[in-house]
Chain A
C-alpha cells in the first residue's frame, strides 16, 4: 500500500480537478501535493467524500513562512484511518494578503487549528466563525512565527551579544 497512495490520489484528483495540481512528490514517505489556492476547500471536501480516498480525518493544519519567496504556505494533512493512507496538501499565499477560505465548513476540528495559524502567521481564514488569537496574549501586534520578527525578547538590557557569537 505504501507509495501507491500518491498516484491514486493524483489520479482521483485529475478526474475532476485537472490543472489544479502544481507539484506532487513523495517527501520522506509522505505524499505531498502542491495545489492552486482557489479551490482548496472544494478539493479537500472532494477527497474526504470520494469512496476511494476517504480522507475523513484532518490531522493538522499549519502555516509556513518563506521570506525569500515572500509567501506563506498553508499545509493540510489528511488521514484515512481505514486504509492508513495519508496526504499532505500545500497551498501558497502572498505574504502581503494571506487569505484563504475556512476549512471549518468541512472539518469542525479545523477551528482551533486555523485560530493558531492566524495567531502565529497572520493567515486570514475568511468565513471562520471566531478568528481570534488562541495562544498568545490578546494585545500582541505581531505574528511571531513569521521570520521578520525577532525570536528573542527585545526588552532585555543585560544581554552580552559577544557571549552568543554575534
Chain B
C-alpha cells in the first residue's frame, strides 16, 4: 500500500472486481502484469547499437526502471533476446542457438538497421535481417537508435507481454510460425 510520504511507484492493479477484503481478476492479467514488469533481457550486442544500449543501461536512461536490472549473457532465465548490431552470416548459427536455448515464453527485440534488415551492409557476408533465422517481435529503427528509441522498443515489448494470452505459446499458429524457421 502506498503511503503519503513514500515515493515508491507501484504498478496499477489490473481491472477486476473489487470489494471489501477481496479483489478478483483473471490469472492471465496477473501473470501478464508480473511478467511485464520483470523482463530479463539477454543482450546480444555485436556493434555500435550495443554501445547505444550501454547508454540505455546507464544511470541517465536507466533501463532498470522497467524491471530489467538483471542482464545476463546467458539464455538461462532470460525472457527477451535483444539483438543489437550487425549479424554476419557466420554469427547466424550462434544467434540461433542462443534463441533455441531460451525457454518459453521468449520475446525478441531487433535493435537498429543492421539487425533488422542488414542495414548499409548489403554484402555477401552479412545476414540481411535476423528475421531470416529467428522470429522477431519488435523492430527498432535507427542507425544507431538513441536510447529513447530502445526504451520505446522495450515498452512495446512490455505491451505485448502484458496482453499475451497464457495459451498463445501452445497454439497451432505459434507452432506453425516456429516451424517456418525450423525450430521445434
Is the CB–CB distance between B90 and A153 below 8 Å? no
Q: Pick the contact of B128: A136, A137, A144, A153 (CB < 8 A).
A: A153
* Complex contacts, A142 vs chain B, CB 8 Å: 124
Interface assignment of B118: CB less than 8 Å from any CB of chain A: yes
Is the CB–CB distance between A137 and B122 below 8 Å? no
Is the CB–CB distance between A156 and B123 below 8 Å? no
Is the CB–CB distance between B123 and A137 below 8 Å? no
Q: Please tell me the number of chain A residues within 8 Å of chain B, measured between CB atoms.
A: 13
| B contact residues, range | 10 to 19
* Complex contacts, A155 vs chain B, CB 8 Å: 128
- A151 vs B120: C-alpha distance when bound (angstroms): 13
Is the CB–CB distance between B122 and A136 below 8 Å? no
- A158 vs B122: C-alpha distance when bound (angstroms): 12
Which residues of chain A from 118 to 166 have any CB-CB distance to chain B below 8 Å in the complex?
136-137, 142, 144, 149-153, 155-156, 158-159
Which residues of chain B from 102 to 124 have any CB-CB distance to chain A below 8 Å in the complex?
117-118, 122-124
A-B contact pairs, 11 of them (CB 8 A): A136-B125, A137-B89, A137-B90, A151-B123, A151-B124, A152-B122, A153-B126, A155-B128, A156-B118, A156-B122, A158-B117
Q: Contact residues of B with A, CB < 8 Å?
A: 89-90, 117-118, 122-126, 128
